[in-house]
């Protein structure tokens, strides 16, 4: 059974019929295909299979309804929508669905015991990853490429919330990089916080479910990529083409000591960004939860 919380009161299940198609059909397709955070998937089946089954149930029910038969002139458009829905559903991996649905894909132990080297400090003694959030909760930003205009824009946006996230709420703000080129420009111009070198790329493997997640040159044909590029150009951030830019990053919000991973965001396409206001709200909720658990 797949239930969409799209507001259209549409429900698809074994033997069930969807209700309110005129209001719900488009929103339901969008929710199933583009916005998994608005859907609840059956826990007894793999996420990807559930996603595909949900799309099939919705489309089969719609094609069997009177609305589909009455809209003969729109059959070509509906056919294209069906094809696009299946294509999109196949492109989204289980780990991406987990993340977009607000679930945590990374196992907490995967972030422990990782050797990180402080950058741009007088003391470059390597530290263990868990020491960075041992006493305080932490926002940990895994940067794809330090010289990337889009990554710098993202860093700039997160840093604009420093007065709330760090000063008011008491979170450490930590940057992680898998390379060293352009570190000084990145920190001084855009990040403004501590930066650590993950030479073994262990944190990048952790957020990838045990292996590195690589971008693709095919991303250049995606509208989202061009939107990201346009946003970066408008931001005023300066960039270059130095360094490895295909290893995708992400962001964690971690509780102190062993309280675990409270939030995970995985970069799906080069230049994707979190919403800084949403990150602030997440930090506020985590702060409140931690205080209530004392």
148 included as an active-site residue: yes
User: What span, in angstroms and rounded, lies between the C-alpha atoms of 130 and 112?
Assistant: 5
Q: In Å, how far from its chain's centre is CA 267? A: 5
In sequence order, the 6+-apart residues with CB closer than 8 A to the CB of 174 are 132, 138, 139, 140, 141, 193, 194, 195, 196
Of the residues 4, 6, 39, 148, which is catalytic?
Answer: 148
Point out the catalytic residue in the list 4, 6, 39, 151.
Answer: 151
Please state, as a whole number, how many other Cβ atoms lie within 10 Å of the Cβ of residue 112. 12
Dihedral sign for Cα 208, 211, 217, 218, please: negative
Which strand ranges, in their side-by-side order, compose the sheet holding 39-40?
11-12, 2-4, 39-40
Beta strand residue intervals within the chain, DSSP E = 2-4, 11-12, 39-40, 115-118, 127-128, 138-142, 172-177, 194-197, 250-254, 261-266
Collapsing DSSP states into helix, strand and coil, what is residue 173? Answer: strand
Strand partners, 12: 2
Sheet holding 138-142, edge to edge: 127-128, 115-118, 194-197, 172-177, 138-142, 250-254, 261-266
So which residues are the catalytic ones? 148, 151
């Amino acid at each position: 059974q797949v239930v969409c919380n799209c507001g259209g009161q549409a429900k698809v299940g074994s033997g069930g019929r969807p209700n309110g198609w005129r209001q719900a059909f488009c929103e339901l397709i969008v929710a199933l295909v583009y916005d998994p955070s608005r859907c609840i998937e059956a826990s007894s089946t793999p996420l990807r299979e559930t996603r595909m089954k949900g799309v099939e149930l919705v489309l089969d029910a719609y094609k069997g309804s009177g609305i589909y038969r009455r809209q003969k002139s729109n059959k070509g458009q509906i056919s294209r929508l069906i094809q696009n829905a299946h294509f999109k559903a196949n492109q989204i991996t289980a780990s991406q669905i987990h993340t977009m649905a607000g679930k945590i894909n990374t196992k907490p132990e995967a972030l422990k015991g990782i050797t990180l080297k402080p950058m741009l400090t007088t003391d470059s003694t390597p530290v263990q990853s868990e020491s960075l959030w041992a006493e305080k909760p932490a926002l940990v930003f895994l940067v794809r490429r330090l010289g990337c205009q889009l990554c710098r824009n993202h860093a700039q946006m997160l840093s604009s919330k420093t007065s709330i996230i760090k000063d008011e709420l008491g979170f450490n703000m930590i940057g992680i990089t898998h390379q060293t080129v352009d570190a000084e420009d990145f920190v001084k111009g855009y990040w403004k916080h501590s930066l650590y070198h993950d030479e073994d790329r262990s944190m990048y493997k952790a957020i990838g479910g045990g292996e590195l997640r690589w971008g693709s040159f095919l991303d250049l044909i995606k509208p989202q990529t061009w939107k990201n590029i346009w946003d970066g150009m408008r931001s005023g951030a300066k960039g270059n083409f130095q360094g490895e830019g295909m290893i995708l990053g992400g962001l964690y919000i971690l509780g102190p000591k062993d309280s675990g991973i409270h939030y995970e965001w995985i970069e799906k396409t080069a230049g994707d960004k979190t919403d800084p206001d949403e990150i602030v709200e997440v930090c506020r909720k985590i702060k409140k939860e931690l205080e209530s658990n004392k």
